[in-house]
Amino acid sequence: MQAIAYIVIALHVISAIGLVIFVLLHSGKGTGLSTMLGGAMPATSTGTGIIEKNLDRITIAFGVMYALTAIVLMLVYRPTA
């Protein structure tokens, strides 16, 4: 059972780091990675480009993974004293 807990802890740490990185990559008002890489790409009807949409999807995926691993850790992890 402890092996599963260690795997989930590793996934939790990876998702936390990924979540921080991808939140910081989002752009503010015309700045950030999406503008730097996709400046020549036209925006869609919603006002965001393809790169910004992909950043949104990746950020949401890391957020969901973080939440799920937190719930699994709550159920699986039993620290030894």
Digit-by-digit pLDDT tens for the chain (81 residues) are 688 989 999 999 999 999 999 999 887 665 556 556 655 555 555 555 788 888 999 999 999 999 999 999 999 888 776
Domain that holds residue 31: 2-76
81 in a structural domain: no
Q: What is the DSSP letter of 42?
A: P
7 in a structural domain: yes
32 in a structural domain: yes
68 in a structural domain: yes
Of 22, 26, 23, 21, whose CA–CA distance to 36 is shortest? Answer: 26
34 in a structural domain: yes
12 in a structural domain: yes
**Count of domains observed in the chain:** 1
CA distance 78 to 75: 8
64 in a structural domain: yes
The helix (H) or strand (E) run that includes residue 60 is: helix 50-76
37 in a structural domain: yes
Question: Is the model's pTM score more than 0.85?
Answer: no
